[in-house]
Amino acid sequence: MHRMLRLAVALGSVAAAAVAWLVLTPPAGSTVAPPGDTIVDITGDAANGFEITYYDGTGLYPPTDSEARAECAEHDTRVQRVRCRVEVRTWYRDLAATQQALDWAHHPGSS
């Protein structure tokens, strides 16, 4: 369960970090660097696994959606299992949306 909680925290901040990166990106030639935990890239997909890359070079590799859903099946009550599955769907939907936003930000006009 701790793994899912860490995933929730990480993915819950994905959109905010991406927006902060886009909004707070310093002008060209500036020596100001973003915080090390700023998300700079997301690759992959829910079925095969995502990789979240941070400015400091570290990465996070959330489980695939099927692995996360399998962990949800381990909850004791039906309500807990359903809540977990909804959270997993939401996290991966938001992760994919943030990935798309970062792709667009890195390559504007190439859609």
For residue 64 the two structure tokens come to: 């695939």
Question: Domain residue spans in the chain?
Answer: 40-111
Rounded Cα–Cα distance for residues 13 and 111 (Å): 26
Provide φ and ψ at 53, rounded to 5°.
-110, 135
pTM score over 0.85: no
Instruction: Average the pLDDT over 71-88 and give the result.
Output: 94
- Tell me: pLDDT of 43 over 70: yes
Rounded Cα–Cα distance for residues 59 and 103 (Å): 17
Choice between 8 and 29, residue whose per-residue pLDDT is larger: 29
pLDDT digits (tens, 9 = 90+) for 4-19: 555 555 555 555 555 5
